[in-house]
Structure 1
Amino acid sequence: MEHRTLRVTRQRESLRVVIDRPERSNSINAELMAELHAVLDQAEDDPDLRTIVLEGAGPVFCSGMDFADAAGSNRAGDELAVRGGEAFYGLLKRFTTVPRIVVSVVDGRVTGGGVGLVAASDFVYATGRSSFALPEALWGLLPCCVTPFLVRRTGFQPAYAMTMSTLPVTAARAAEIHLVDELLEDAEPALRRLASRLGKIDPGVIGDGKRYFGQMWLPAEELERTAVGEFARLMSSPVVQHRIDNFAAHRQMPWETR
């Protein structure tokens, strides 16, 4: 399958997936989400695959929502906000349920929805140059769809502090709060060790393990309903849409237009 937002290569029992939108800071739009789903389909259809390794092209792993794509699309009462929230939440949920191991390899900045991709991954390796931030509150939003997956990984207080302060978290701090599993300047040895172990495990155990641990968490349907509903409410706000439109058209940050 041809991809326009990703570079996908097969390496033995792994799919290496690079988010390849550096001109848009590797931001997330509908096309990227569809192509990531296609990659997950490919992995599920291939019994020899064990891991999906996700990376970002350039100095940004992923900057979250593509504001140019969102500008003008989520007016009050518009169902696009609901559909957008459902699509993104569904992608993150699939990371946690696909019977393959998803590894994010981060070298650079991660913001907004990009933190969601990381938090929903099974393993996260990051360089010391990496940073993680949830700036949504600056726009009048909240990281609604990210939060359930971030809380699952870090616990309540780190997720709450990242949301309310909007301040970036260093790679070292991300490791302390378990958003990052290991700080590594070169992730390849760790990926090889992981692949070696996974090669000794029956493939069905990966799916069983993810299903079992999923049952240790809060009811998934209630979390999804709450996250998507609040995202749609906030995205439909005229104030939020005005800020997004201004940024898309004039590159003005929200505090510059007050």
Structure 2
Amino acid sequence: MNTMIREAIGVGETEVLALEDAKRQLGIDESEVVEFEVIQRAEKKKFGLFGGAPAKVKITLKAGPAETAEEFLGNVLKNMKLESVYINKKEIENGVEFDLEGEDVGFVIGRRGETLDALQYLTSLVANHADNSYFKVTVNTGDYREKREKTLEILGRKLAFKAIKTGRKTSLEPMNPYERRIIHTSVQKVNGAISWSEGENANRHVVIGPDPKFKRYSRNNNSGYNRGRGGRRPYNNNSVKNEVNPDRKPLNEGSLDGLYGRIDK
């Protein structure tokens, strides 16, 4: 994919006036310094009556990754018949954040954010083909991604405690690498539970289960109770406490390239 290019040819009685005309066409301030090409120099009329020609100046602007991404995203929304959705752009260091607003913004989010993720992925591809260095692109609407992340954190922790209590594993729905990592991070902070990923490509999902290294306390365990009536439960050093361990490191889900990481060209 080629870098998006904007250009304009200005016409005027002199090269200076032609340059100003080209700047106006591109929406550039007249005081801004730009590179330009003189296509045709002004020629005066002979005897003030015959011949002569105006000056022509050409300005060519190569759009940066932020501008390229914004133009692409706007065209996609237009093709989706979502003209009511408008884009708020915020440039950050080595990246840009787009916040979408409007009446039909729900269509942009899609089922569990799938449409929003697809828009971000494609926009990131376009932006990173417009520049040689990595450029991070985030497409959000309101605080949807923040709410989604919080929901996944709570879900991961809840299912981790469930795995400890029941001794059974639970399979979640397929998720993208970023969301799977959120689940892994949440589960790994709970003592007695582990998580891993299964499946390939679009079917890859997280499974949460009890950690086999931790022994669960059971009434059926012969060492659990004294057989005599009124016996006291012995101290079990291997019993699991449902507590969060902030020191456990999250599972490495692998490269996040593709949706939220670097896009290889």
TM norm. shorter chain > 0.5: no
What is the TM-score with the length of structure 2 in the denominator? Answer: 0.25
Hey, which of these two has a bigger chunk of helix by percent?
1
Flag the structure with more relative contact order, 1 or 2, with Cα contacts below 8 A and sequence separation at least 6.
1
* Structure having the larger proportion of residues in strand: 2
Structure ID, larger Rg:
2
